Structure formats: structure tokens, C-alpha cells
Amino acid sequence: MFTATLRCGTVLSYEAPHFRPDSGDLVPCRHHGYCAVHLTSGSASGGANCSPRRRPRTQSELLEWLRGRSETTVHVLRRHGFTLRMLATAERDGLVELDLPAGRVAVRPAPQAARTTTDDEHCSHRC
């Protein structure tokens, strides 16, 4: 994104560098009719001024996010930064059931810990 800051403080955004005015140019202003361009920013080379990519979310973050939920959608997980690759890995590891055509992600119950014996099982005879 390419921007031009006017002397009055208004910031104008441009998608292409050839639309962006130069410093000192007089341009239409939403508040004053016309104002001079004070400062311009954005890539002068014409390349996209991209923000840095955020780090991929981990499987432990996925498990934390899913805690307390039985089902969600792929769309919601994607909005929270979880990749399709992460969801496929979680399905392969048996953590979720993934239905991509329906966009549904169901949480599989965690494997139960080793069964504890009840008093009846512990004492097979009447104590």
C-alpha cells in the first residue's frame, strides 16, 4: 500500500505507486478542498509493501484453542491463524475429525488415562 500524508494530517492510500502524488503536489482534500502533500510512503520500487508473515501456529496452540469446544469450522480456525496443513496433521495424529467439503472440524475425545480399578474390581470377593 502506498500513502500520501497531507499537511493537514489526512492520509490518502493508493494501490499503485504511479497514482501516488509526490511531496509538494496539491491534491484534493476531504476536509479543505485542496492540500499539499507533506510526506509519501510505500515502496518506491513498485513492489508490494507487505507486512511480515506471522509465525505458524503450533499443534499445542491448536489444542489449547480447541479446549472446551466439541466442534468448530475450518473457516474459524483459518481466521485464528491455523493452516490447513496444521489441521491435516492434527487429523493424522487423531486429535480431530476433519471434513473439508463441509468445512467441519470435530474434536476427538482425548484417550482416557489408564483405567483405575473400582473397589468392586479390586476386591473380587466380598470383604
Which pLDDT score, from 0 to 100, does residue 61 have?
A: 93
46, three cell numbers: 513498485
Q: What pLDDT, in 10s, does the model give residues 45-66?
A: 444 555 567 788 899 999 999 9
Q: What pLDDT, in 10s, does the model give residues 66-92?
A: 999 999 999 999 999 999 999 999 999
Lowest-confidence region among 22-26, 53-57, 91-95: 53-57
**How far is the C-alpha of 62 from the C-alpha of 7, rounded, in Å?**
47
User: Which pLDDT band holds residue 17 (cuts at 50, 70, 90)?
Assistant: confident
